Amino acid sequence: MNKPLMAKATAVWLVDNTTLSFKQIGDFCGLHELEVQGIADGDVAAGVKGYDPVASHQLEPAEIKKGEADPAYSLKLKYNPAAEGEEKRRGPRYTPLSKRQDRPAAILWLVKFHPELADSQVAKLVGTTKPTINSIRDRTHWNISNIQPIDPVALGLCRQTELDAAVQKAAKKRAADGEVMTDDERRKLVSTETSLAMSGEEPRLPTAIAGLENFSLSRDEDEEEKPQREVDADSFFNLPDSGDDEDEDDR
């Protein structure tokens, strides 16, 4: 057990009733320091009722006093038998009703950009079943023509740390099985800065665009080399006689 039950509600209570720092509250509740600051500003967890960790026997009052006296002190969670095994939950996670319609898009994204992930890993990340994953992988899903791949982290279905851990685990399994990873798959396992540093070549224009650029330049040079013919305005009015005038003269 690394964080208290109802962590966000506990953070709300600590923000309203203590002088602990945002970092102390975040470390205790398993939240980011900026998220705790958002709770204090009213931008996060609006309408969430605070949950007293002291009354629920998850935190001792002496711990709060120690934390208020020393900003570097880390609060220690009191042992709670009711929370035993909370972090070792197995099977697919619960997905709210408002986000269940986004699961096919997340599954398609994982299948497309991380094919090394096993069906069990995808099911655990998104909270779905293997038949649904297989239907999207085989493109037999009833709505496959309208599904667009979207990052599950952007959809709020999983955390970036969970996705990275699953990808790293799948990569280690493939390495143990003797499978060779491609360059694109290696880039997915590193940070953006590292991935950009791996490519030493500077970005170039596409071949088609470069060809068009050369074509336009050569065309301009040809036009400059060709002498321009002078055009007399009177020549436009000196039109040849038509055959109708000759017919009239014959008559």
- Residue 25 inside a domain? The answer is yes
Mind listing the pLDDT tens digit for each residue in 122-147? 998 988 889 999 999 999 999 999 99
Q: Do both 14 and 77 map to the same domain?
A: yes
Looking at 57, 87, 117, the residue that finishes a domain is 87
**Residue 62: its H or E element:** helix 61-69
Q: At which residue do the structure tokens 């099911």 appear?
A: 123
- The whole-model pTM stands at 0.40
Q: Rounded distance, CA 172 to CA 149, Å?
A: 25
Q: Rounded distance, CA 36 to CA 76, Å?
A: 18
- pLDDT score for 235: 56
- pLDDT score for 182: 55
**How many domains is the chain partitioned into structurally?**
2
Q: Rounded distance, CA 197 to CA 185, Å?
A: 16
Looking at 87, 106, 133, the residue that finishes a domain is 87
Mind listing the pLDDT tens digit for each residue in 40-79? 888 887 778 888 888 888 888 999 999 999 989 988 888 6
- Residue 204 inside a domain? The answer is no
Q: Do both 101 and 175 map to the same domain?
A: yes
Q: Do both 190 and 101 map to the same domain?
A: yes
For the record, the structure tokens of 123 come out as 């099911």
Nearest to 92 by CA among 151, 1, 170, 157: 157
- Residue 245 inside a domain? The answer is no
Q: Do both 81 and 140 map to the same domain?
A: no
- Residue 28 inside a domain? The answer is yes
- pLDDT score for 230: 58
Report residue 8's pLDDT band, with 50, 70 and 90 as the boundaries: confident
**Residue 63: its H or E element:** helix 61-69
- Residue 70 inside a domain? The answer is yes
Nearest to 130 by CA among 159, 168, 92: 92
Q: Do both 12 and 38 map to the same domain?
A: yes
Q: Do both 114 and 185 map to the same domain?
A: yes
- Residue 219 inside a domain? The answer is no
The answer to whether residue 161 scores a pLDDT higher than 80 is yes
- pLDDT score for 154: 85
> How far, CA to CA in Å, does 161 sit from each of 33, 114, 115, 167, 186?
16, 15, 18, 10, 17
Q: Do both 75 and 146 map to the same domain?
A: no
- pLDDT score for 99: 75
- pLDDT score for 232: 57
The answer to whether residue 109 scores a pLDDT higher than 90 is yes
Range of the domain at 39: 7-87
Looking at 59, 87, 115, the residue that finishes a domain is 87
- Residue 138 inside a domain? The answer is yes
- Residue 216 inside a domain? The answer is no
Lowest-confidence segment of 47-51, 154-158, 214-218 by average pLDDT: 214-218
More confident site: 34 or 214: 34
User: Cα dihedral sign for 136, 90, 12, 97?
Assistant: positive
